[in-house]
Every structure is written in C-alpha cells, then in structure tokens.
Amino acid sequence: MSRRLREVHCTPAVSVVKNYGVSEPTIYAYRKCFRLLEAMDVRRLETVEQGNARLMKALPVRDLQIEVMKEITRKI
C-alpha cells in the first residue's frame, strides 16, 4: 500500500489513472485530503475510523440498557 500512496503523490494523475483504473477526480480528492500524511498515518486513520464506527454502534445499546435499568429501579 505504501508504494501506491507514494506513487499517487509523486506521479502525474493521468498515469495513476491508467495504472489503477480510478478516476482523475478521485486522485485529486485523495491528494487534497491526504497530501501531508504518510502511509502509516493513513493506516492509523483507517483503524481509528473503524473503531469509531464500532463504538457508534455500541452506544445506542448502552443507552437502551441504561433506560431499562432506570425503569426497573422506578418500579421497585
């Protein structure tokens, strides 16, 4: 992956489009977002985003558990 990232940053967009089959606007959007990041930074960012998504799924479950516990304590 790091080789591809370096290639996207260092080579003309047209050659990257030909090599990897992605659109030219995609390359420009990628460069705009990740211009200063290294490959390890991008991997770390992806890991953090995956963890955040997992936590966002768990949050409603926790809130529901809290509401159930409040209901139970009110009835006692």
Higher-pLDDT residue of 51 and 22 is 51
Structure confidence at residue 2 as a pLDDT band (50, 70, 90): low
More confident residue, 50 or 41: 50
Region 16-30: mean pLDDT is 80
Q: What residues make up the domain containing 25?
A: 1-36
Q: Are residues 29 and 43 in the same domain?
A: no
- pTM of the predicted structure, to 2 decimals: 0.44
Clarify whether residues 47 and 70 are in a common domain. Answer: yes
3-state secondary structure the chain: CHHHHHHHHHCCHHHHHHHHCCCHHHHHHHHHHHCCCCHHHHHHHHHHHHHHHHHHHHHHHHHHHHHHHHHHHHHC
72 and 43 together in one domain: yes
Average pLDDT, the chain: 80
Predicted confidence at residue 1, as pLDDT, reads 46
